[in-house]
Amino acid sequence: MEQDHLTQLENQTLYILREAVAQVGPLCMLWSMGKDSTALLWMVRKAFFGRVPFPLALLDTGQELAEVYEFRDRLVRDWNLPYITVPCPPESEMDASLPPATRAAQRKSVGLKNFIAQEQLRGVIVGIRRDEQALRAKERVFSPRDSFGAWDVREQPPELWECYRPVVPDGGHVRIHPLLNWTEADIWRYTQRENIPFVPLYLARDGMRYRSLGEKNITHPVRSDAASIDDIIRELDQIRTSERAGRSMDSETENSFELLRTRGYM
């Protein structure tokens, strides 16, 4: 029988995760506690029969929303997760020429770069999707990064017929993206199907909700009456605004997101 759409996506993600563990190491996975990385974590536990074979890292600026930290503590305890907090350097150490919100967001790029060097990581699993942002549409599943974490779209290896041969640059690492082919609606449908827990900030309160969870100093809720996953899915069928409309740094200047990506941002 033909598999349904979500099961096909899930099988592809499980395959990518197993290929990553088989071909690249040492590895870590970035876990922001958002809907995407938590759905990905759910599939990691499926792929490896209930265990997580690499550390889960939060790039922590101290600016996550209180509900995010509460959600993290509950899942780390209930799922017995190999969790690591990675402190990010202060904003005062960031490039002063960047706009304020972009400079604040750069803290995570530098925190990740320091963590990769400290742990000598060769692979980092990230839960980004192509439909989130135009630049991400050009990503590969296994995407090489140089020693600064920078990404050169012209130097990406071909990935034909799901044959992955990751090449780790000297002094660099590979970003692994198991959710590239998923959409925002796919993630919510899968979350509903699997009954995956999520941060309640995604549901509307007083006519506002978060579509994307970032630091509280650079992320804002959007107008919405979606108080359930069914409501969210219906809403996504009707709106055309960007999922990251609440992220200040994405629209601060014309090339804000591009600047962050070239400097190692997720």
Q: Does residue 109 form part of some domain?
A: yes
Q: Does residue 234 form part of some domain?
A: no
In 3D space, the residue among 42, 31, 97, 95 whose CA is nearest the CA of residue 64 turns out to be 31
* CATH number reported for the structural domain that contains residue 158 in this entry: 3.40.50.620
Q: Does residue 147 form part of some domain?
A: yes
Q: Does residue 189 form part of some domain?
A: no
Integer CA distances (angstroms), 54 to 30, 57, 121, in order: 10, 10, 11
Q: Does residue 25 form part of some domain?
A: yes
- Taking 90 as the threshold, does the pLDDT of residue 147 lie above it? no
Segment 159-208, tens digit of pLDDT: 667 777 777 888 889 999 999 999 999 999 999 999 999 999 999 999 99
Q: Does residue 194 form part of some domain?
A: no
Number of domains into which the chain is organized: 1
Q: What is the domain range of residue 69? A: 5-182
Residue type, 249: M
* CB-based burial label for 261 (10 Å; 0-12, 13-18, 19+): buried
Q: Residue range 200-223: average pLDDT? A: 92
Q: Does residue 131 form part of some domain?
A: yes
Higher-scoring residue by pLDDT: 47, 138: 47
Q: Does residue 219 form part of some domain?
A: no
Q: Judge if pTM exceeds 0.75.
A: yes
Cα distance between residue 185 and residue 231, in whole Å: 11
